[in-house]
Every structure is written in structure tokens, then in C-alpha cells.
Amino acid sequence: MNRYFSWERLWDVIPKLNKYLPVTLKVVIIAIILGTVLGLIVAAIRVYKVPVLSQFFHVYTVLLRSVPFIVLLFLVYYYVPFFAKKFFGLDIDSWDKIIFIEIAFALNEAAFMGEIFRGAFESVPKLQSEAAYSIGLSKPQAFRRILLPQAVKVAIPMYGTNIVWIFASSSVTYMFGMLDFLGKTKTIAASSGHILEAYIYVAFVYAAISIAIEYLFRLIDKKYTFGA
């Protein structure tokens, strides 16, 4: 058994991997922030049917939701520098890998979160917006004070699920040479010749954090539902 799995090797590998967990969490947090902001913008444009932009983001959402994230990541990583140099004369090959990873997450989450928020906004009865306009509120004021607070309640479950997806999807970043949590796991496994301990711990951490996120959003959803 010691040949395949050893508790001693497991305890030895844990602190080495934990040093790189913040790198993965940084990628996830930035992706969540970018995705939330861009998703809200895309949703607002589509809900208010802004000419041209609304049609553009409808097509954008359909396309981006159809492309596997790993494919989008490869396209961004290899072709953004190419187009930046060809059309703008910018040499960005030396940029940190995390920038391209976050661009891919931002493009992807603008579509997915935009659709989550759009559905939540459209679930709010139109009469409430009309009532807000009738008392003199502008569209931005009605959006911020009336539409957004009610839409948040509807969006919470899917938003939480999407955050779990972002966290799980961050595991592919090691494929681009980024030394994050999973990237360090691969390095340790390759150098030691023992892969089981490291990957068992990685699976445990990903599962534990994902379950914690789901539980947190379940509590938030219950609180909002109870307070509704």
C-alpha cells in the first residue's frame, strides 16, 4: 500500500500545495468581479433594449455560451497578442499569463452572468418600473432602486452555481504554464513520482471550497426568501 499511497507523503505535500492556493483564489476572485460587472452591463443593455448594442450582445451571448471555456482560453491566449500587434502595434507577449486568463474569464462570464441577470431583471413585473417612472425616477434610478434589489433575490441561486463553476474551471489555468494550486500539484507529482497523495488533497480542497460556496449561497437565498 505504501508504494501507492502514504500518509507521510500526504502530510508532507499539504503545506507545499497550500502556498499556491492563494494564486488560484486570486484568479477566481478577479474573474467573479469582472464577470459580475460586465454581466450587469450586458443584462442592462439587453433589458432596456439599447439599439444595436442589444442585438450585438444577444448574438455575443449565444456564441460565447456555446464555446467550451478551454477553447476560448486557447483563443485568447494565442490570438489576443497576435491581433494586438497586427492592428494596434502593441507587443503584449511579455504580459503576465494571468492577464490573458482573466480576459478569457471576463469574456465568458459577461455572457453567462449577463444571461443570469437578464432573466432575473425580466422576472420583476414591468408595472414596478412604470410606477417608478411615474413618480419621477429616471431609468438609472429605477434600475438601481427598484429593479436591481428585486432581481438580486432571483439571481442568487444561479449566481452561486456559476461561482462554483468559475472555481472549478480555474483548474485549467495550469495548462498555460501558470504555477497555481493544480500547477504545483503537477510539478510535485512529476518530481516525486507519486501522484496519488497530491491529487487526493487537491480533490478534497476543490470539493470543500465548492461545497462551502454552495452552502453560503443557500443561506443567503434563504435569508432573502424569508425577508421577502
Residue 123 lies in a domain: yes
Residue 185 lies in a domain: no
Residue type, position 204, single letter: F
Residue 207 lies in a domain: no
Which of 183, 201, 195 has the alpha carbon at shortest distance from 11?
A: 201
Confirm if 39 and 113 have CB atoms less than 8 A apart: yes
Which of 108, 80, 75 has the alpha carbon at shortest distance from 93?
A: 80
Q: Does the pTM exceed 0.85?
A: yes
Residue 98 lies in a domain: yes
Residue 17 lies in a domain: no
Which of 177, 52, 41, 189 has the alpha carbon at shortest distance from 115?
A: 41
Chain-centroid distance, C-alpha 138: 31
Residue 3 lies in a domain: no
Residue 187 lies in a domain: no
Residue 149: is it exposed, middle or buried by C-beta count within 10 angstroms (0-12/13-18/19+)? exposed
Which of 165, 186, 152 has the alpha carbon at shortest distance from 43?
A: 152
All residues at 6 or more sequence positions from 146 whose CB lies less than 8 Å from its CB, including other chains: 124, 128, 129, 132, 137
Taking 60 as the threshold, does the pLDDT of residue 44 lie above it? yes
Confidence of residue 225 (pLDDT cuts 50, 70, 90): low
Query: How many domains are contained in the chain?
Result: 1
Confirm if 39 and 174 have CB atoms less than 8 A apart: no
Confidence of residue 71 (pLDDT cuts 50, 70, 90): very high
Which residue is listed with cell 487526493? 200
State the pLDDT at residue 3: 66
Q: What is the pLDDT of residues 135-166, one digit of tens each?
A: 888 877 888 888 888 888 889 999 999 999 99
Which of 205, 37, 33, 179 has the alpha carbon at shortest distance from 102?
A: 33
Residue 105 lies in a domain: yes
Q: Whole domain around residue 61: which residue ranges?
A: 23-177
> For the domain that residue 169 is a member of, what is the CATH number?
1.10.3720.10
Residue 225: is it exposed, middle or buried by C-beta count within 10 angstroms (0-12/13-18/19+)? exposed
**CA 115, 117, 118, 119: dihedral to nearest 10 degrees?**
90
Taking 80 as the threshold, does the pLDDT of residue 192 lie above it? no
Chain-centroid distance, C-alpha 79: 21
State the pLDDT at residue 36: 95
At residue 2, what are phi and psi to the nearest 5 degrees?
-60, -25
